[in-house]
Structure 1
Amino acid sequence: MLPHAVRLSFALLVALVMALPAAAFDTQARAAYVTDLKTGTVLLNKNADQPLPPASMSKLMTLYVAFEAIREGRLSLDEKLPVSQHAMSYGGSTMFLDTTDRVRVEDLLRGIIVLSGNDACAVIAEALSPDGSEAGFARFMTMRAQKMGMTNSTFANSNGWPAAGHRMSMRDLALLARRLIEDFPEYYPMFAETEFKFDGRAPQNTQNRNPLLALGIGADGLKTGHTQAAGYGLVGSARQGDRRIVFVISGLNSSAQRAQEAEAIVSWAFRQFVENTVVKGGTEVLRADVWLGDAPSVGLVAEQDLTMLLPVLSAEEVKAEVIYDGPIQAPVAQGDRLGTLIVKPEGMQEVEVPLIAAASVARGGFVTRIKTVSGLLLTRLQQGPEGAL
């Protein structure tokens, strides 16, 4: 008997906190993406893969490249960098640098994170560019982003200044935020700083524009952005307990709307979802028939715990499906991967967990083979002349 794909659908009972179902968040943003970092659950996806003008949110890529250079010894926090005429020429949000300055890298980093300095980005870019130009650095940024999996990102400059072809998707920005948080924990606290006074310049321009940092809701980053083409946007992150979310919104009409939307998203993401272990590792999900084995079946167990973020519900059934090729051919070794459990929460992304053999099943001997063949012949006779093995 040849194995064939077997699909079995059923429901997993998951006891959750008593509450109302979580409604989808109806964002006013042109594009948005919200993800839970611990479980990888995507909570909201609106035009998340559409390349859009990212404005100053693209400064996060310049920061990532700078942090890498520091870690690799190609740049140091105490190193002082010159300011070119090109860097000084930038308008918009700046550190008010001029060509007489030599600025510490650490000050430039804070100038980018807290003050959103376009000039500071250009100084970093020219220092790290393969050819000494900001355009060369932008090409390097694009290549580095592609290697990181940011397939909808193309950079024309280091700071998000409006330019043809300078684009990022919300999913790419979320991926970048996650990498900054996880890859550079020593520098990430800079993103929570609410003020940076550089050299006494422009005392009216010392505040971080992130509207969530002072609200006491666990927000600790990362970057705002605004241009006429991009609208108002924010790459944000917040931590409450052992959960952390990253969210990206873009295309809002005002800074006030951005602040309201960002706070509402954080509240929704933490209050309307609960983390739950849907299946524990080693739990038998089902038994599968074994062909020509010394046992007629083998248990399929979850290879690992499956912890998911689910909408807060009363005791609820989560739809699930098991796929495996059956009957399973003997011999079977304990731990062999034999199938997949697919959990399908309503309105959310599916999650897969490998299923493995709970025990070994040896190949049956002569008696087993005779019994199996005899059973098949009997079944065929009962089915009549059209029956088939």
Structure 2
Amino acid sequence: MAGLAIVFTTPVTATGNASPQNTAATRPPYTTQAPIVMLKDLESGEILFSRGADKRFAPASMAKVMTAYVVLDLIKRGELARDKQFTVSEATWKKWSGSNGGSTMFLRPGEKITVDSLLKGLITVSGNDAAAALAVGIDGSEAAFVKRMNAIASEIGMKSSNFGTPNGWPDGGVTKVSAADLITLADRLIRDHPGGYARYFAVPRLPHGTSPEGKPIVQSNRNPILGRFVGADGLKTGHTSEAGYCFLGSAKRDGRRLIMVVAGLPSEKARRDEAERLMSWGFGTPMPSLGVGKGKKSASGTGRAAP
């Protein structure tokens, strides 16, 4: 990951009444060692920075944003209710339980749980089990739900992405995205489902499940800048050996929203620092972060902190 990135200064044609502002010209060039970086001003439509935006890579848990979009779209169209209950099957539990299924919201076999709670588990604690339970509950199987994901991804303009699972679990290279497509997805989710975005993407912590000692399990949101960077309010992390540590994030200050993607970082700390630095640069006035804590762990000590 040698070399410095180049600032992309050509503004994108604005939509609506917003007018693009070539804000990159008013600040120092942004430099980074990350191979994939993209930053967009949602209101003006301007791409403030772009490097490796069209390179396809495995998104890991960032794929859950696509799952969330599909579910929120069904709710918006009246085809699914937030209070609809799904029953966690034995097969789903065995496949995605915390012992072998990565990050989890600690669902139990036979548990009845609402779509609302599953969405919170999907986004707040990156529950692979939550993604699977939603997929099976909606379409009968993960494979059927994935077909829906790919169809909707195409509809909203994700030109080079393909999904093989509802949660981004490694699947032999089937699931691939680009930073440009992730920016499109975040843009559409925030515009198309503002209420759902506000409801699910900034939940600071999720209590669900019980530890072997009988204590409630409380897990913190995986978002590395939520509660640390002023205005940060959502989206999703991911990590694979291929893509490194990744993050699709958004923040809003003084009515201006930025969406960013960073991928290929070597550690959680590098991901967090890069995200904060890029956002500070994008807003043009390096405001101090909230400085809350240095990391996030499961309050019970039993949660798997897979990013």
- Whether the aligned pair in 2 keeps the contact of 1:30 and 1:251 (CA below 8 Å) is yes
Correspondence for 1:79: 84
- Whether the aligned pair in 1 keeps the contact of 2:149 and 2:163 (CA below 8 Å) is yes
Alignment of 1:353-372 (within 5 A): none
- Following superposition, which runs of at least 4 residues in structure 1 exceed 6 angstroms of deviation? none
2:170 aligned residue (147, 162, 174): 162
Alignment of 1:235-274 (within 5 A): 235-271=248-284
Structure number with bigger Rg: 1
Pairing 1:126–2:136 present: yes
What TM-score comes out, normalization by structure 1 length?
0.62
1:139 shift after superposition: 1.8
Q: Over aligned residue pairs, what C-alpha RMSD do you find?
A: 2.0
Tell me how far apart the structure 1 counterparts of residues 207 and 107 of structure 2 sit (CA, whole Å).
Answer: 13
- Whether the aligned pair in 2 keeps the contact of 1:81 and 1:102 (CA below 8 Å) is yes
- Whether the aligned pair in 2 keeps the contact of 1:28 and 1:261 (CA below 8 Å) is no
Distance 1:68 1:21, change over 3 A: closer
- Whether the aligned pair in 1 keeps the contact of 2:106 and 2:208 (CA below 8 Å) is no
- Whether the aligned pair in 2 keeps the contact of 1:87 and 1:120 (CA below 8 Å) is no
Correspondence for 1:210: 223
1:192 shift after superposition: 1.2
What TM-score comes out, normalization by structure 2 length?
0.78
Pairing 1:37–2:42 present: yes
1:73 shift after superposition: 2.1
1:87 shift after superposition: 2.3
The amino acid that maps onto 1:56 is: S
Pairing 1:234–2:247 present: yes
Q: Return the structure number with greater helix share.
A: 2
1:205 shift after superposition: 5.2
Tell me how far apart the structure 2 counterparts of residues 200 and 28 of structure 1 sit (CA, whole Å).
Answer: 41
Tell me how far apart the structure 2 counterparts of residues 234 and 216 of structure 1 sit (CA, whole Å).
Answer: 14
Partner of 1:197, secondary structure, is strand
Pairing 1:53–2:63 present: no
Unaligned residue ranges in structure 1 (runs of 5+): 1-15, 274-389
Alignment of 1:1-389 (within 5 A): 21-88=26-93, 89-90=95-96, 91-129=101-139, 132-163=140-171, 164-189=173-198, 190-200=200-210, 203=216, 206-271=219-284
Aligned residues: 254
- Whether the aligned pair in 2 keeps the contact of 1:115 and 1:205 (CA below 8 Å) is no
- Whether the aligned pair in 2 keeps the contact of 1:34 and 1:247 (CA below 8 Å) is yes
1:199 shift after superposition: 4.3
Mean Cα displacement is larger for which, 152-161 or 87-96? 87-96
1:270 shift after superposition: 0.5
Work out the percentage of aligned pairs sharing the same amino acid: 42
